[in-house]
Structure 1
């Protein structure tokens, strides 16, 4: 295909949307680790060098898709969360169940989150990193606000801490939910090992329940990562 450079802002935006749409379609077929810039370029119908005119790297494309997936997930949660009724524990358990199940229904989102820190946030410029982190912050704040609508007993900072812990749980649990064939064969061959295969939805649900119980009990309302006692951790 002969490359025709997009010469107007509208044409450039259209070309960027085409690249993002093609990448999103590929993620419905394959995991993040399998999506290559060469194959993406082939499907878009552009040389790799021409794709790089619009995005600086494969990782920059996938980070933008992650931002879009997070935004769509939160919008869907607005309409699907259960009524905020009952005791804090009852509301917390229902919230945990809804969050876990809705995340499990979005495998592309979970795969992108699991690759975010170790892969996608590498090989990008400072400008791309800043844009991505601002998008991440907006999504985290929106999800924390949604959480407090169902659990107003949580302080603002504790709701934000919960969102951070939820993200880390998804990132850690998702790869275990997608074991390679050798492990699947091992689980099938030895029933004693079957319990080691983690159920993603259950792991995320339990993690949220336990974290919510701890946050509500301790009621520290401190920023994510901060030491609530205000002292340095002693390392021996």
Structure 2
């Protein structure tokens, strides 16, 4: 794929979408750590310097993908079947399960979340970080609105804690469910070690349920 220089804003937007689309395609086949600006440039048919005309760094590309993926996940998250009239413990389990399972079904999003603080926010300008953080706030507000319906007892602070813990646990747990070949070999060689392998969805569901139980216990009798 070869591009001539973009001559208007429409063409610039097209180049940006092409770069983002190719970066996403790469993430479907490799981890965030393996996505390089050189390879991205090669795949979109632009010189590295030209890619940098549209995004200031590899991390800026990936942050924009994270913003879109986070919002898409929240848009698709369906909590409508969880009745606020159900017992609190049932609602806690159902909400925890919905969040954990829906995140597990989006490996690219989980990989981006796991790299957010330690990698993606480290090689970008203040303006880029501000755009990213503002986009995250919009997503958090949208998720808060969805969580308030099945969890009417909880206040805004409680809801924020749930979201923060869900994202922080994703960041920490996801890499453990993507072990290296050496770790996989160790799990096979020693079943006792393998028994302690962390699985993303079950761990997330249990941890989120415990968080919700604790928050609800302060508001209602479970």
Mark yes or no: TM-score above 0.5: yes
Change (3 A) 1:164 1:2: closer
Match of 2:215 in 1: 215
For residue 4 of structure 1, report the CA deviation from its aligned partner.
2.1
For residue 3 of structure 1, report the CA deviation from its aligned partner.
5.2
Match of 1:230 in 2: none
CA distance in 2, matches of 1:127, 1:190: 49
Indicate whether 1:83 and 2:105 are aligned.
no
Which runs of 5 or more structure 2 residues have no equivalent in the other structure? none
Note if contact 2:2-2:44 (Cα within 8 Å) is conserved in structure 1: no
TM-score, normalised to structure 1's length?
Answer: 0.89
The RMSD of aligned alpha carbons is 1.3
Which runs of 5 or more structure 1 residues have no equivalent in the other structure? 220-236
Change (3 A) 1:15 1:131: same
Q: Equivalent residue of 1:150, what SS?
A: coil
CA distance in 1, matches of 2:187, 2:154: 40
Note if contact 1:82-1:98 (Cα within 8 Å) is conserved in structure 2: no
CA distance in 2, matches of 1:188, 1:52: 44
CA distance in 2, matches of 1:191, 1:82: 40
TM-score, normalised to structure 2's length?
Answer: 0.95
Match of 2:48 in 1: 48
CA distance in 2, matches of 1:125, 1:142: 26
How many residues are paired up?
A: 218
Change (3 A) 1:138 1:205: same
For residue 88 of structure 1, report the CA deviation from its aligned partner.
1.3
Match of 2:180 in 1: 180
CA distance in 1, matches of 2:167, 2:2: 43
Cα deviation digits, residues 115-145 of structure 1 (max 9, x gap) = 0000000110000000000001111111121
Note if contact 1:88-1:153 (Cα within 8 Å) is conserved in structure 2: no
CA distance in 2, matches of 1:95, 1:37: 38
Note if contact 1:57-1:123 (Cα within 8 Å) is conserved in structure 2: yes
Note if contact 2:57-2:124 (Cα within 8 Å) is conserved in structure 1: yes
CA distance in 1, matches of 2:107, 2:80: 19
Indicate whether 1:154 and 2:146 are aligned.
no
Indicate whether 1:39 and 2:39 are aligned.
yes
Note if contact 1:147-1:159 (Cα within 8 Å) is conserved in structure 2: yes
Note if contact 1:22-1:44 (Cα within 8 Å) is conserved in structure 2: yes
Question: Of the two structures, which has the highest relative contact order with CA contacts closer than 8 Å and spacing of 6 or more?
Answer: 2
Match of 1:205 in 2: 205
For residue 2 of structure 1, report the CA deviation from its aligned partner.
6.5
Note if contact 1:81-1:95 (Cα within 8 Å) is conserved in structure 2: no
